[in-house]
Chain A
Amino acid sequence: MKRIKYFLIAIICLSNTSCNTEKHEFPIAKRYWDTNDYDKVILELRFGYEDDERKPTFDNPAQRVIVQKLTDEQNFKIVLTDTELGLKHRNKVATEFFNHWKDMHQIYQATDRKDNYLYDLEMLAVWQYGLSLQLEYFKLGNDEIIASADDPSSSRVKNTINSNIQTLISNYIIYLDEINNEKALSEKGKTKFATGIDLYFSKLIKRYPTANFSGMKHKAELMLKKSVSNEVKSSLIKLIELMNKEK
């Protein structure tokens, strides 16, 4: 009887080992994440974690790769900038990525009792991923409008394109809103935030130099008065100078 007991225990242990799977699964080995991967990953990151469970962060060596993959711009660039693919297809994929990004935004928004962000670096990485994505998304949208228009130089088409660019600029302005919440960011967070202004806002202005940036300039000037971070202030000054130069 004793042997049978041991045998049964061994079987149970073996079965348990086989059943024991990772609590959170992410397609880390996959070189590029597509929208289906984002679907699953966002779902897992938003709803698969307990309230007091720490989500993947850049400072966690074991889980850093998850947030790095999540915010890897190559995931969308590899499709959206592939000119071998059709414009409509790329636009469709861009829309899917954009919709996923809106959901991604909710992943790292948690704050502590002092209203400080728990994951400011990750939250900003997601923000910057979105800024980069929107540059491609709006460009593809406008390219498709031009391609499908009977008269691409008509005032109607031009107005639609300009309106889209203004929407893109407005979306970028929302990023600057974070300065109102500057206290919630750590020092590293403020540096990352400032880097975002330097990198993505300059790309936007260079891509659409003739667009109307008055709203953004006004916002930047207001935020310059409000910010207490030298790094953020320096980035805002550079931004205002760039807008003045492109005028």
Chain B
Amino acid sequence: MNEKLIIILIVLLYFSPVFYQLYLLLKERTAENKKLLKRLVRFTKYSFIILILTSTFFVALLHTNFLNYEKPMTFDKYEQITFQNFRGIEFFKKSLYGNQRFAYVVSSIDSDIDKNSVTVQSLFYPSRSFVYKKNTNSKELLTHEKYHIKITELFTRKAKEEISNLKIFDTNKIKEILREVEKKESAYQKEYDYNTFHSYVLKEQKRYEKEVDSLLTLLAVYKNPKITIDEKN
């Protein structure tokens, strides 16, 4: 059945008492009308409040599964990540290009600018990441998803490299670097998914794995999240 139709039917069913009241009001134009109208307004108001609260609850749940929450993980815990950590909930997306065995990962570059230091680190969000089945034994799918995390870490290190090359501590410049790196990271993530076609093209997947691993090794010196800029030097 069409999803839109289901939503419309649910909303109609939900508001059926309101519609019934409306129907009564329109049918019988008596002195009781005012009383009924007041009741109708009150009913509608409460109904909307409940609907907004319920919707907010589900939207929040869809964004982050707070019912099965796990705090964001830093890259040093990368090896520990399995599909058991993918705790997100998905209500609407049932398949990816017709494939019901799909997953997605949410990761980001987190930064904190201090007086003369900056902390930049990649984070993996377990409660926002989704897998169609937690006990799946698809190593290829897990590897593909985990490389998204590695890509985030790679760009985090690139950002740290650029920041550490700054001669003076300039907050605006640091923010600009972070913004640019985030843009590049997002483009690279898309390119990775496009070229590997979400791990379907194994040859491409392996090429990316080699590329990302070698670049991470190359930037291993920027592993530490904190960079201190000493203006004297």
Select which of B4, B27, B197, B201 is within 8 A of A18 by beta carbon. Answer: B4
Interface stretch, picked from A45-53, A81-89, A145-153, A167-175, is A81-89
| A43 sits at the interface (CB 8 A) | no
B-chain residues with CB within 8 Å of residue A27 when the two chains form the complex: 97-98
A-chain residues with CB within 8 Å of residue B23 when the two chains form the complex: 4
Residue pair A31, B2 in contact (C-beta under 8 Å): no
List residues 39-82 of chain A with CB under 8 A from any CB of chain B: 78, 82
Residue pair A82, B202 in contact (C-beta under 8 Å): yes
| Chain B interface, >50% SS class | helix
| B12 sits at the interface (CB 8 A) | yes
Residues of B in contact with A (beta carbons under 8 Å apart): 2, 4-5, 8, 12, 19, 23, 26-27, 97-98, 194, 197, 200-203, 205-206
A158 to chain B, nearest CB (A): 30
**Also in contact, A83 and B197, with CB within 8 A (given A4-B23, A18-B2):** no
8 further interface pairs, Cβ-Cβ under 8 Å (given A37-B98, A82-B203, A85-B203): A27-B97, A30-B98, A31-B194, A32-B197, A32-B201, A78-B200, A82-B202, A83-B203
- By beta carbon, the residue of chain A nearest B201 is A78
| A11 sits at the interface (CB 8 A) | yes
A80 to chain B, nearest CB (A): 11
| A19 to B202 Cα, complex, angstroms | 39
Residues of A in contact with B (beta carbons under 8 Å apart): 1, 3-4, 7, 11, 14-15, 18-19, 21, 27, 29-32, 34, 36-37, 78, 82-85
Residue pair A32, B200 in contact (C-beta under 8 Å): yes
Residue pair B202, A84 in contact (C-beta under 8 Å): yes
Residue pair A84, B206 in contact (C-beta under 8 Å): yes
| A1 to B27 Cα, complex, angstroms | 7
- By beta carbon, the residue of chain B nearest A20 is B2
Residue pair B5, A19 in contact (C-beta under 8 Å): yes
B-chain residues with CB within 8 Å of residue A83 when the two chains form the complex: 203
A-chain residues with CB within 8 Å of residue B2 when the two chains form the complex: 18-19, 21
Residue pair B4, A31 in contact (C-beta under 8 Å): no
B-chain residues with CB within 8 Å of residue A36 when the two chains form the complex: 98
A-chain residues with CB within 8 Å of residue B201 when the two chains form the complex: 32, 78, 82
Select which of A15, A21, A37, A85 is within 8 A of B202 by beta carbon. Answer: A85
- By beta carbon, the residue of chain B nearest A29 is B97
Residue pair B98, A31 in contact (C-beta under 8 Å): no
Residue pair B12, A11 in contact (C-beta under 8 Å): yes
| A18 to B23 Cα, complex, angstroms | 25
Residue pair A31, B203 in contact (C-beta under 8 Å): no
A-chain residues with CB within 8 Å of residue B205 when the two chains form the complex: 84
A-chain residues with CB within 8 Å of residue B4 when the two chains form the complex: 18
Select which of A7, A19, A32, A84 is within 8 A of B203 by beta carbon. Answer: A84
B-chain residues with CB within 8 Å of residue A85 when the two chains form the complex: 202-203
A72 to chain B, nearest CB (A): 13
Select which of A7, A15, A78 is within 8 A of B5 by beta carbon. Answer: A15
